Amino acid sequence: MSRWILVAGASRGIGLETARLLLKENFSVVASARDTRPLEEEFANVGDDRLKIVPFDFSQVEKTEGYVSRIIALTGGISGMLYSAGAQKTLPLTQSKFPIAEEIFRVNAFGAFELVRVLAKNAKKGDGGASFVLISSLAAREGALGKALYGAGKGALEGFIPPAAAELAARNIRLNAVALGVIRTDMSMEFIGKMSEEQRKSLEESYPLGLGEPEDAARFIVYLLSENARWITGQTFVLDGGHMVRGC
Protein backbone atom coordinates (compact mmCIF):
# COMPACT_ATOMS: atom_id res chain seq x y z
CA MET A 1 0.00 0.00 0.00
CA SER A 2 1.38 3.42 -0.98
CA ARG A 3 2.35 5.79 1.84
CA TRP A 4 0.82 9.21 1.25
CA ILE A 5 2.66 12.28 2.51
CA LEU A 6 0.96 15.67 2.66
CA VAL A 7 3.19 18.64 1.85
CA ALA A 8 1.56 21.88 2.98
CA GLY A 9 3.09 24.86 1.21
CA ALA A 10 4.47 22.80 -1.67
CA SER A 11 4.56 25.37 -4.46
CA ARG A 12 8.09 26.64 -3.90
CA GLY A 13 11.26 26.46 -1.84
CA ILE A 14 11.65 23.71 0.72
CA GLY A 15 8.12 22.38 0.27
CA LEU A 16 8.59 21.95 -3.47
CA GLU A 17 12.01 20.33 -3.08
CA THR A 18 10.65 17.95 -0.44
CA ALA A 19 7.76 16.95 -2.71
CA ARG A 20 10.25 16.24 -5.52
CA LEU A 21 12.43 14.10 -3.27
CA LEU A 22 9.48 12.20 -1.79
CA LEU A 23 8.32 11.24 -5.28
CA LYS A 24 11.86 10.19 -6.17
CA GLU A 25 11.95 8.01 -3.03
CA ASN A 26 8.70 6.29 -4.11
CA PHE A 27 6.33 7.97 -1.69
CA SER A 28 2.98 9.25 -2.91
CA VAL A 29 2.39 12.96 -2.35
CA VAL A 30 -0.49 15.32 -1.71
CA ALA A 31 0.90 18.73 -2.70
CA SER A 32 -1.03 21.73 -1.42
CA ALA A 33 -0.62 25.47 -1.70
CA ARG A 34 -2.79 28.53 -2.14
CA ASP A 35 -1.62 28.82 -5.76
CA THR A 36 -1.22 25.39 -7.35
CA ARG A 37 -0.22 26.55 -10.84
CA PRO A 38 3.52 26.04 -10.18
CA LEU A 39 2.75 22.51 -8.98
CA GLU A 40 0.71 21.67 -12.05
CA GLU A 41 3.61 22.79 -14.25
CA GLU A 42 6.31 21.09 -12.17
CA PHE A 43 4.55 17.72 -11.91
CA ALA A 44 2.70 17.60 -15.22
CA ASN A 45 4.15 14.16 -16.00
CA VAL A 46 3.44 12.52 -12.63
CA GLY A 47 0.49 10.12 -12.63
CA ASP A 48 -2.61 10.68 -10.52
CA ASP A 49 -1.90 7.47 -8.61
CA ARG A 50 1.23 9.03 -7.08
CA LEU A 51 0.36 12.71 -6.81
CA LYS A 52 -2.71 14.69 -5.79
CA ILE A 53 -2.62 18.47 -6.11
CA VAL A 54 -5.12 20.10 -3.76
CA PRO A 55 -5.36 23.89 -3.41
CA PHE A 56 -5.72 25.31 0.09
CA ASP A 57 -4.98 28.56 1.88
CA PHE A 58 -3.55 27.52 5.24
CA SER A 59 -4.38 30.88 6.77
CA GLN A 60 -8.05 29.78 6.53
CA VAL A 61 -7.66 27.78 9.73
CA GLU A 62 -11.41 27.35 10.21
CA LYS A 63 -11.63 25.37 6.94
CA THR A 64 -8.98 22.79 7.87
CA GLU A 65 -11.50 20.09 8.82
CA GLY A 66 -13.08 20.18 5.37
CA TYR A 67 -9.68 20.24 3.69
CA VAL A 68 -8.51 17.14 5.56
CA SER A 69 -11.75 15.35 4.70
CA ARG A 70 -11.03 15.96 1.01
CA ILE A 71 -7.48 14.63 1.42
CA ILE A 72 -8.63 11.46 3.13
CA ALA A 73 -11.30 10.89 0.48
CA LEU A 74 -8.61 11.08 -2.21
CA THR A 75 -5.96 8.95 -0.49
CA GLY A 76 -7.65 6.79 2.12
CA GLY A 77 -5.30 8.15 4.80
CA ILE A 78 -2.12 10.11 5.39
CA SER A 79 1.14 8.59 6.68
CA GLY A 80 3.07 11.81 7.02
CA MET A 81 2.91 15.58 6.78
CA LEU A 82 5.32 18.45 6.23
CA TYR A 83 4.05 21.90 7.17
CA SER A 84 6.14 24.35 5.15
CA ALA A 85 3.46 26.98 4.60
CA GLY A 86 4.60 30.30 5.97
CA ALA A 87 4.40 34.07 5.89
CA GLN A 88 7.19 36.51 6.61
CA LYS A 89 7.16 40.27 7.04
CA THR A 90 10.15 42.36 8.08
CA LEU A 91 8.78 45.20 10.18
CA PRO A 92 9.98 47.31 13.12
CA LEU A 93 8.28 46.24 16.33
CA THR A 94 6.57 49.63 16.63
CA GLN A 95 4.83 49.04 13.28
CA SER A 96 3.83 45.44 13.98
CA LYS A 97 0.16 46.06 14.66
CA PHE A 98 -2.22 43.33 15.77
CA PRO A 99 -3.81 42.61 12.35
CA ILE A 100 -0.32 41.95 10.96
CA ALA A 101 0.55 39.77 13.95
CA GLU A 102 -2.67 37.80 13.50
CA GLU A 103 -1.95 37.28 9.79
CA ILE A 104 1.54 35.95 10.50
CA PHE A 105 0.43 33.71 13.36
CA ARG A 106 -2.50 32.26 11.40
CA VAL A 107 -0.16 30.89 8.73
CA ASN A 108 3.01 30.20 10.71
CA ALA A 109 1.51 28.74 13.89
CA PHE A 110 -2.27 28.32 14.08
CA GLY A 111 -2.51 26.67 10.66
CA ALA A 112 0.13 24.12 11.69
CA PHE A 113 -1.50 23.41 15.06
CA GLU A 114 -4.89 22.85 13.49
CA LEU A 115 -3.59 20.63 10.70
CA VAL A 116 -1.76 18.44 13.23
CA ARG A 117 -4.88 18.25 15.39
CA VAL A 118 -7.26 17.31 12.57
CA LEU A 119 -4.89 14.80 10.96
CA ALA A 120 -4.28 13.15 14.34
CA LYS A 121 -8.02 12.96 15.03
CA ASN A 122 -8.56 11.23 11.68
CA ALA A 123 -5.61 8.84 11.94
CA LYS A 124 -6.59 5.19 11.82
CA LYS A 125 -5.23 2.87 14.47
CA GLY A 126 -3.21 0.01 13.05
CA ASP A 127 -2.09 1.93 9.97
CA GLY A 128 1.57 1.76 11.03
CA GLY A 129 1.68 5.23 12.49
CA ALA A 130 2.55 8.56 10.94
CA SER A 131 5.19 11.29 11.06
CA PHE A 132 4.55 15.05 11.08
CA VAL A 133 7.30 17.63 10.54
CA LEU A 134 6.96 21.39 11.09
CA ILE A 135 9.40 24.05 9.87
CA SER A 136 10.79 26.55 12.35
CA SER A 137 13.53 29.14 11.96
CA LEU A 138 16.61 30.52 13.68
CA ALA A 139 14.57 33.74 13.93
CA ALA A 140 13.08 32.18 17.08
CA ARG A 141 16.56 31.74 18.58
CA GLU A 142 18.61 34.84 17.77
CA GLY A 143 18.17 38.56 17.38
CA ALA A 144 17.23 39.91 13.96
CA LEU A 145 15.90 43.39 13.32
CA GLY A 146 12.30 43.40 12.08
CA LYS A 147 11.73 39.69 12.81
CA ALA A 148 9.91 39.89 16.15
CA LEU A 149 6.56 38.61 14.89
CA TYR A 150 8.07 36.01 12.59
CA GLY A 151 10.36 34.75 15.36
CA ALA A 152 7.47 34.66 17.83
CA GLY A 153 5.37 32.56 15.47
CA LYS A 154 8.18 30.08 14.93
CA GLY A 155 8.90 30.04 18.67
CA ALA A 156 5.27 29.04 19.23
CA LEU A 157 5.79 26.09 16.88
CA GLU A 158 8.82 24.92 18.85
CA GLY A 159 6.93 25.23 22.14
CA PHE A 160 4.12 23.13 20.66
CA ILE A 161 6.39 20.20 19.76
CA PRO A 162 7.20 18.48 23.14
CA PRO A 163 3.72 18.43 24.75
CA ALA A 164 1.93 17.65 21.50
CA ALA A 165 4.42 14.87 20.69
CA ALA A 166 3.81 13.35 24.12
CA GLU A 167 0.10 13.05 23.35
CA LEU A 168 0.53 11.89 19.77
CA ALA A 169 2.96 9.10 20.70
CA ALA A 170 0.01 7.17 22.14
CA ARG A 171 -1.47 7.23 18.62
CA ASN A 172 1.82 6.08 17.08
CA ILE A 173 2.33 9.52 15.51
CA ARG A 174 5.74 11.17 15.60
CA LEU A 175 6.03 14.97 15.68
CA ASN A 176 9.26 16.86 15.09
CA ALA A 177 10.44 20.22 13.79
CA VAL A 178 13.45 21.55 11.92
CA ALA A 179 14.73 25.04 12.75
CA LEU A 180 16.43 26.32 9.64
CA GLY A 181 19.08 28.89 9.00
CA VAL A 182 19.15 30.86 5.77
CA ILE A 183 18.17 28.67 2.82
CA ARG A 184 18.39 30.00 -0.74
CA THR A 185 14.69 30.19 -1.57
CA ASP A 186 12.68 32.79 -3.46
CA MET A 187 11.58 34.30 -0.14
CA SER A 188 15.05 34.57 1.39
CA MET A 189 16.73 35.74 -1.81
CA GLU A 190 14.21 38.56 -2.11
CA PHE A 191 15.23 39.69 1.38
CA ILE A 192 18.95 39.21 0.71
CA GLY A 193 18.62 41.12 -2.55
CA LYS A 194 17.75 44.25 -0.58
CA MET A 195 20.98 44.08 1.43
CA SER A 196 24.10 46.07 0.71
CA GLU A 197 27.15 44.18 -0.54
CA GLU A 198 28.70 44.52 2.92
CA GLN A 199 25.58 43.09 4.60
CA ARG A 200 25.44 40.15 2.19
CA LYS A 201 29.10 39.37 2.77
CA SER A 202 28.62 39.49 6.55
CA LEU A 203 25.63 37.14 6.30
CA GLU A 204 27.47 34.63 4.12
CA GLU A 205 30.51 34.69 6.40
CA SER A 206 28.28 33.84 9.38
CA TYR A 207 27.57 30.44 7.79
CA PRO A 208 30.79 28.37 7.94
CA LEU A 209 29.36 25.71 5.61
CA GLY A 210 27.74 28.28 3.34
CA LEU A 211 24.12 29.27 2.95
CA GLY A 212 21.78 26.33 2.62
CA GLU A 213 20.01 25.00 -0.46
CA PRO A 214 16.44 23.63 -0.39
CA GLU A 215 17.72 20.08 -0.87
CA ASP A 216 19.84 20.38 2.32
CA ALA A 217 16.62 20.71 4.32
CA ALA A 218 14.56 18.33 2.16
CA ARG A 219 16.92 15.37 2.63
CA PHE A 220 16.64 15.57 6.42
CA ILE A 221 12.88 16.16 6.32
CA VAL A 222 12.36 13.07 4.17
CA TYR A 223 14.42 11.10 6.68
CA LEU A 224 12.16 12.27 9.52
CA LEU A 225 9.09 11.34 7.50
CA SER A 226 10.43 7.86 6.77
CA GLU A 227 10.42 4.71 8.86
CA ASN A 228 14.17 5.20 9.34
CA ALA A 229 13.27 7.78 12.00
CA ARG A 230 10.69 5.57 13.73
CA TRP A 231 12.27 6.16 17.20
CA ILE A 232 12.47 9.96 16.98
CA THR A 233 9.77 12.31 18.26
CA GLY A 234 9.33 15.53 20.21
CA GLN A 235 12.52 17.11 18.87
CA THR A 236 13.48 20.34 17.11
CA PHE A 237 16.58 19.87 14.98
CA VAL A 238 18.75 22.86 14.01
CA LEU A 239 19.99 22.83 10.40
CA ASP A 240 22.12 25.93 9.94
CA GLY A 241 25.45 25.18 8.26
CA GLY A 242 27.33 25.84 11.53
CA HIS A 243 25.86 29.32 12.01
CA MET A 244 25.02 28.95 15.70
CA VAL A 245 28.39 27.43 16.66
CA ARG A 246 30.65 29.70 14.62
CA GLY A 247 33.65 30.95 16.51
CA CYS A 248 33.53 28.14 19.09
Q: Which residues have a catalytic role annotated?
A: 150
∠ CA 70-71-76, rounded to 5°: 110
> What is the rounded CA–CA span in Å between residue 190 and residue 136?
19
Q: In what order do the strands lie in the sheet with 51-55?
A: 51-55, 28-33, 4-8, 80-83, 130-137, 173-180, 236-239
In DSSP notation, 70-127 reads HHHHHHS--SEEEE---------GGG--HHHHHHHHIIIIIHHHHHHHHHHHHPPTTS
> What is the rounded CA–CA span in Å between residue 85 and residue 153?
12
> What is the rounded CA–CA span in Å between residue 70 and residue 110?
20
> What is the rounded CA–CA span in Å between residue 119 and residue 95?
36
Distances (CA, A) of 191 to 69, 167, 184, 185, 208: 36, 38, 10, 10, 20
Residue pair 173/120 in contact (Cβ under 8 Å)? The answer is yes
Residue pair 138/96 in contact (Cβ under 8 Å)? The answer is no
Residue pair 58/8 in contact (Cβ under 8 Å)? The answer is yes
3 state DSSP class of 51: strand
